[in-house]
Amino acid sequence: MKVSYHGHSVVKVVTDSHKILIDPFISGNDACDLDASQVEADVILLTHGHNDHVGDTIDIAKRNESLVVAPNELANYLETKGLNTHPMHIGGKHDFDFGTVKFTQAFHGSAYTEDDGTTIYTGMPAGILLKVDGRTIYHVGDTGLFSDLRLIGEMNDIDVAFVPIGDNFTMGPEDALVAADWIDARIIVPVHYNTFPVIEQDPEDFAEKVRTGQGKAMKIGEEMEL
């Protein structure tokens, strides 16, 4: 299984049978190396409804006939756009042909702004525990620090965790270091930084300070084997 990072919170997981995209904010994201008109995805997983996470989901899913797995209200909204969706909610898990997905809590907001300025409420934000081929990937989503991250770490043997460090909208580096201790993953990858001036951070500095597990500041497009 290959896992790659593509700027902001965009993560790609490629197994022998599936291509999985998480939060595919590509168009309008100068930090992303992917081409929304060319990227392939059998499955798209979404943490919440903000435009910088839903991103190009509608176009990608229509072109690839992708399954979109998302929190309930967001999934229902995307279904009205003609997408094939599977709604879930925090605390629930489901076994798919590509692996198992469980949504965890995240302390943030969730609303999608349409082109005409209309704001659509898209339910609760979430993190995603993805278990594939005996490995566990935790995409923490957009969130502040909360103590149940310790419980999530205790209950799951996590191989790699993608943790936001941007501050202002999510945890900053100091809180993210505490989160990394609690999550207790083998590899901690910082995400959600440097896309906008207000979330500029030094991912290498953060990775060097990770105390629990290995901190890894992935370059845009960099791939790791799990």
- For 21-68, what is each residue's pLDDT tens digit? 999 999 999 999 999 999 999 999 999 999 999 999 999 999 999 999
Going across the sheet that includes 135-139, the strands are 93-95, 100-105, 126-132, 135-139, 160-164, 187-191, 214-215
Neighbour tally for 186: CB within 10 Å: 16
- pLDDT for res 132: 97
- pLDDT for res 62: 98
Q: Would 169 be classed as within a structural domain?
A: yes
pTM above 0.75, yes or no: yes
pLDDT > 70 in the chain, percent: 100
Nearest to 60 by CA among 8, 15, 23: 23
Q: Would 225 be classed as within a structural domain?
A: no
Confidence of residue 207 (pLDDT cuts 50, 70, 90): very high
Q: Would 191 be classed as within a structural domain?
A: yes
Q: Would 226 be classed as within a structural domain?
A: no
In angstroms, what CA-CA distances link 179 with 24, 42, 145, 173? 24, 31, 7, 10
Which amino acid is it at 195? T
Q: Would 129 be classed as within a structural domain?
A: yes
Supply the CATH number for residue 36's domain: 3.60.15.10
pLDDT > 90 in the chain, percent: 100
Q: Would 55 be classed as within a structural domain?
A: yes
CA-CA distance, 146 to 154, in Å (whole number)? 14
Nearest to 185 by CA among 144, 115, 138: 138
Q: Would 184 be classed as within a structural domain?
A: yes
Instruction: Specify the number of domains making up the chain.
Output: 1
Confidence of residue 105 (pLDDT cuts 50, 70, 90): very high
Q: Would 224 be classed as within a structural domain?
A: no
**Chain centroid to CA 35:** 18
**Domain span holding position 12:** 2-218
Nearest to 130 by CA among 36, 18, 6, 54: 18
